[in-house]
A and B are shown apart, each in its own frame.
Chain A
Amino acid sequence: MWLGEAASTAHVPSSGALRLALFLCCLGVLLLGIIPGYAMKLAQLAAYIFVY
């Protein structure tokens, strides 16, 4: 398949709630990817119950 024009160019609207949810997810993806230290520390604290 070759690159080509899209069948439609009509704008795809989205509601404020949906945009907020998506923004929070993207923020989480970037924060955990760029500064994962705090989340890793939380995960280690949570896993601490597994030490005998």
Chain B
Amino acid sequence: MNLALFIPEITLLAVAAIVILLDLFIAQKRWLAQVSLSGLVVSGGVTIAMWGGSYPALFNNMLAVDSFALFFKLLFLGIAFLVILASTDYASKFSRFQGEYYALVLLSTLGMMLMAATTNLIAIYIALELTSISLYALVGFLKDKKSTEASLKYLLLGAIASAVLLYGMALVFGFTGKTQLSEIARIIQALPPMTLLASPGLLLGIVLLVAGFGFKIAAVPFQMWVPDVYEGAPTPITAYLSVASKAAGFAIIMRVFFSAFGTPAWLSLHWGAIFAALAVISMTLGNILAIPQTNIKRMLGYSSIAQAGCLMVGLAAMGVASAESLLGQSAVLFFLASYAFTNLGAFIAIIAISNKLDSDLIADYSGMGKRAPLLALALTLCLISLVGMPPAAGFMAKFYIFSAAVHHGLLWLVIIAVINSVSPPTTICAWSR
């Protein structure tokens, strides 16, 4: 086994340990952010150097080192870099625990990188827990009433989602006797369709997997944690949750559902239909509930639920597509990258403004065009992108994902998505009052 292929992950783990140790000895805590950023740059550099190569899987075929995993590793490292950069001032609010703060961000990034690369159900669960446990602690970092309650809610609901996911994995294992995704696929393909249909255990297992992963991506009806956790968490962590956690969820969904349940075609049609239904209710509910919000973080929380709905249009396209088509998959990846820049930008502008105002109420943002014109301009650009208007990334992302859906015969889903796209401008108008 070539451990050199594992250097990006080992680097992050080492830097997290160094940051915790440094925190004990240095008085100038700003160095902790710089060490963390250096670690992310090194890890990202190694990942870029690996791009385009063909590598064997690691740890008895549990971790793939393919272009899909490398794409997501770069995305997570970039997101963590921007979040830590945006946290340098904010982290002074918890001066005694800055080392732990940066180390937990690095460890959760490590968990997400493993999530994107794992090809085994057990390794998927372990990577998911590494990510989740770090995030539970980070959400409660402000230690005030809202932050603590948000952390507790996230922990309890996350534990239930983990149990559901584990039960789904157990059913899939019980049916196939395998935990490796490629072996699960091989066994399912070898069975006649009637055997599969007569075994509700496997279908229930797939439904429970959708529910477990649906919690990570904040899809309706597994979204109940989003508003409170987004409002209570430190704002940089809210930004991190809204993009990195969602991207990790989509990475694992794509890997599991395409690698293990991608064939036979009737099975992928079934899970494609589930994601299409979830997309419709997530877009509709997320957009409608965003309109009356008065807290900007809660508003963006509901917006992120609607954006998850848009992303699931791509998953539905993947489900109904033929095995040779890559349109749905590449559209989801492009959407995730553009959503990462857009939502992080919006949250970073909010961090800058709320640092001064000490308020997340939308009403307190009035006059920002005069008080901080560049911040207001940047926030406006990000909101335009969230709406999906040109020339911002959000427009291209929605265009790409809707094109994939139309190409695979999901015109009805795109019509619903376009009708839903009317809602974000309404929300922005409501904000700009």
Interface residues of A (CB under 8 A from B): 1, 3, 5-15, 17-26, 28-34, 36, 39-40, 42-52
Residue of A nearest to B341 (CB): A28
For residue B132, give the distance in angstroms from its CB to the closest CB of chain A: 24
Contact of A25 among B344, B366, B400 (CB under 8 A): B344
Closest chain B residue to A48, Cβ basis: B67
A32 to B371, CA, bound (A): 29
Is there an interface contact between A47 and B345, defined as CB atoms closer than 8 Å?
Answer: no
Taking the closest CB of chain A, its distance from the CB of B19, in whole angstroms, is 17
21 A-B contacts (beta carbon < 8 Å): A8-B367, A12-B375, A15-B89, A17-B89, A21-B86, A21-B344, A29-B341, A32-B393, A33-B338, A36-B334, A36-B393, A43-B331, A44-B326, A45-B67, A45-B71, A46-B72, A47-B68, A47-B329, A47-B330, A51-B324, A52-B262
Evaluate contact between A21 and B382: CB separation under 8 angstroms. no
User: A34-B391, A51-B324 given as contacts; is B381 within 8 A of A26 (CB)?
Assistant: yes
Given contacts A1-B433, A17-B86, A25-B341, contact A9 B370 (CB under 8 A): yes
- B: which residues have CB within 8 A of A? 33, 52, 64, 66-68, 70-72, 82, 85-86, 88-89, 254, 258, 262-263, 318, 323-324, 326, 329-331, 333-334, 337-338, 340-342, 344-345, 348-349, 351-353, 355-357, 364, 366-368, 370-372, 374-375, 378, 381-382, 385, 390-397, 400, 433
A14: B residues at CB distance < 8 A: 352, 355, 372, 375
- A32-B353 in contact (CB<8A): no
In the complex, the answer to whether A43 meets B341 with C-beta atoms within 8 Å is: no
Once the chains are docked, how many angstroms separate the CA of A3 from the CA of B433? 7
Give B351's nearest chain A residue, CB to CB. A18
Instruction: List, in ascending order, chain A residues with CB within 8 A of B352's CB.
Output: 12, 14, 18-19, 22
CB <8 Å contact, B351 and A40: no
Please, which residues of chain A bring their CB within 8 A of the CB of B370?
A: 6, 9
Q: How far is B318's CA from A13's CA once the two chains are assembled, in angstroms? A: 46
Nearest-neighbour CB distance to chain B for A20, whole angstroms, equals 6
State the CA gap A10–B172 with chains docked (Å). 59
When distances are taken between beta carbons in the complex, the residues of chain A under 8 Å from B348 are 18, 21-22, 25
Q: Which partner residue on chain B sits nearest A34 by CB separation?
A: B391
Given known contacts A25-B345, A29-B342, A33-B395, is B258 in contact with A50 (CB within 8 Å)?
yes
Pick from A1, A5, A32, A50: contact of B338, CB under 8 Å: A32
Min CB distance A28 to B, Å, is 3
Inter-chain contact A29/B263, CB cutoff 8 Å: no
Asked whether A46 lies within 8 Å of B330 as measured between CB atoms, the reply is yes
B371 close to A6 (CB less than 8 A): yes
Q: Is the Cβ of B85 less than 8 Å from the Cβ of A46?
A: no
